């Protein structure tokens, strides 16, 4: 039976590239989007051409009920989920003193509450099958902390705590839970920072691999953590950061 993966926030960026990686490796793929419908439909088309089954479902995963519906529809369509990639996320740069209560709450709703919302119904189904892989996307800032990104960094640190705790609880049920902490990856998320060319060059110089990361770098690591080769790896935080944090 072909395996099935649900990737939250897969209309663009890291999520979209990860969807392609799984499709190329004979997985059925559930694409999830919130706003970028056309991107999701284009991706759906591309994935179906690879000969696997795919659907694109709109859901704001920060909303408990919408996330529940996303998982329910996925299970109705495919019967089972082998892999959940909790990837949907937002970022924001501003001084701590400028962060409003609403912005703080929204950051946590999207970056970590979404993981509870999606993982809870998926785990119930994985427990029945005594098998599953959950991969959560954190960030290097979740480890080091980042100035002018207190809410982002704190939410991504929470992803690490979530991953480690859940890994301990689900290990005996043969469900592995791991986390990826990317460094600077070229996507819309960073394009929106409007960094100057000189600032980008500085980041490259600080990175031992001397370049920025790309979505493929992350998708390869996600795919490894989804496969049988990683069956004895759980509760880990894998840095995909070109060595900027060692």
Please report, as ranges, the residues that interact with ligand NAP according to CB under 6 A: 8-15, 32-36, 60-62, 87-91, 110, 137, 139, 182, 184-185, 187-190
Residue 146 or 174: the one with the smaller Cβ distance to ligand NAP is: 146
For residue 51, what are the contacts with CB-CB under 8 A and spacing of at least 6?
none
Shortest separation between residue 140's beta carbon and ligand NAP, angstroms:
6
Q: Which of the residues 141, 152, 162, 184 is marked catalytic?
A: 152
Q: Taking the complex as a whole, how short is the minimal distance between the CB of residue 114 and ligand NAP, in angstroms?
A: 6
Mark whether 33 is an active-site residue.
no
Q: How far is CA 172 from CA 33, 130, 132, in A?
A: 32, 9, 12
Running DSSP on this structure, what letter comes out for residue 113?
I
With the C-alpha atoms ordered 155, 161, 166, 171, is the resulting torsion angle positive or negative?
A: positive
The whole-angstrom separation of Cα 98 and Cα 125 is 42
CB of 125 to ligand NAP, least distance (A): 20
Q: Give the list of residues 6+ apart from residue 70 with CB closer than 8 angstroms, or none.
A: 6, 8, 30, 32, 57, 59, 61, 118
C-beta of 132 vs 182, nearer to ligand NAP: 182
CB closer to ligand NAP, 153 vs 234: 153
Catalytic residues: 152
């Amino acid at each position: 039976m072909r395996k099935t993966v649900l990737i939250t926030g897969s209309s663009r960026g890291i999520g979209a590239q990860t969807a392609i990686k799984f499709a190329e490796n004979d997985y059925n793929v559930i694409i999830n989007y919130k706003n970028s419908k056309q991107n999701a439909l284009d991706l759906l088309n591309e994935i179906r051409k690879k000969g696997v089954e795919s659907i694109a479902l709109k859901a704001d995963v920060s909303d408990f009920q919408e996330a529940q519906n996303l998982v329910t529809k996925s299970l109705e369509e495919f019967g089972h989920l082998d892999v959940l990639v909790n990837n949907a996320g937002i970022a924001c740069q501003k001084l701590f003193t400028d962060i409003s209560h609403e912005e703080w709450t929204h950051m946590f709703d999207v970056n970590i509450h979404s993981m509870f919302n999606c993982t809870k119904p998926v785990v119930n189904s994985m427990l029945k099958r005594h098998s599953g892989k959950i991969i959560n996307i954190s960030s290097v800032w979740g480890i080091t902390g980042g100035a002018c990104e207190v809410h982002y960094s704190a939410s991504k640190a929470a992803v690490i705590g979530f991953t480690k705790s859940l890994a301990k609880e689900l290990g005996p049920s043969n469900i592995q839970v791991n986390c990826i902490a990317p460094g600077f990856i070229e996507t819309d998320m960073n394009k929106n920072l409007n960094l100057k060319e000189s600032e980008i060059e500085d980041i490259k110089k600080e990175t031992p691999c001397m370049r920025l990361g790309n979505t493929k770098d992350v998708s390869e690591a996600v795919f490894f953590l989804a496969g049988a080769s990683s069956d004895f790896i759980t509760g880990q935080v894998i840095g995909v950061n070109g060595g900027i944090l060692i």
